[in-house]
Amino acid sequence: MTGAGALLLHAGPALARAADAAAPTPTPAAEPKLLLFWFLVGVLGLVLLVFLVLFVAIVAQMRPQLRRVYELPSVRRSWSGKVLGLLVGDPTLVRGEVRDEILDHDYDGIHEFDNDLPPWWKYSFYVTILFAFGYLGYYHVAQAGQLSHAEYETEMQQAALLVSPDADDPTKLTTYEALASAADISSGKTLFASNCAACHGQNAEGKVGPNLTDEYWLHGGEVNHVYKTIKFGVQGKGMVAWKGKLSGKQILQVSSYILSLQGTKPAGAKEPQGEKEAAAKPVAKL
């Protein structure tokens, strides 16, 4: 009996797991409800379509009788009569009264007709007035909604959550200062000659790429903007990203060397491109 009891104790958990595995997984209740919702929407749309077809058919059959009712003066001037007029082909409710009566105003031979504004225009104007009061009450009185500035701030805060905090974030601007030592400027010159001169020229006068010696910049002339352009490149403009080929120190050396060329006016310099911006020119310390 003791051996049988121990066997049952060990087999109990296994049997429980087997029973759990064999139990059918309950289907989510949301899917049948969604199907039922769209089924009801489809039935409602079909019913409305049937009623519309029947209404058009009835109006077409009864149009002569409706026309005679509409011709009655007491009916024609009423609001319901104008609605009836739409059914028999009179667009007065939408177009307004066209009396073609000339007023006694005469300005340089220009006469004024006494016609009503189109009702659709007047009703639209009334709707804008109601909307203005609702907007004022909702946003300024009750302050239930965010104004444009607050909405912008909220969106910027939400966007900040998606920005990567690391150094490879192209939207994050660095806070470097231009290098000014002779060694850094010399290293930057060597790196520029071997990597950048093919597009910008040996003296940065500009070839395929823009001239880098003037005061005009396409993507900013401050050292951190130049650093960012070199590191991440410019998609669609032919400027490749150098972050995988040059180290951060080397990129800063190249950026500093470029800024040291400001105002050198090399021969055959390319015409200015971009916005004028006086960049801080590093001075080499000998």
Bridge partners of 276?
Answer: 216
Domains of the chain: 49-95 (no CATH), 103-141 (no CATH), 182-276 (1.10.760.10)
Q: Say how many CA atoms lie within 13 Å of 74 toward its Cβ.
A: 0
Question: How far is residue 89 CA from its own chain's centroid?
Answer: 44
Decide: 114 and 101 in contact? Cβ < 8 Å. Answer: yes
pLDDT (0 to 100) of residue 19: 47
Write down the pTM of the prediction: 0.44
pLDDT (0 to 100) of residue 7: 39
Q: Mean pLDDT, consecutive 10-residue segments, the chain of 286 residues?
A: 45 48 50 86 94 88 82 75 77 71 77 78 92 93 89 82 66 87 94 94 92 91 92 88 91 94 91 80 49
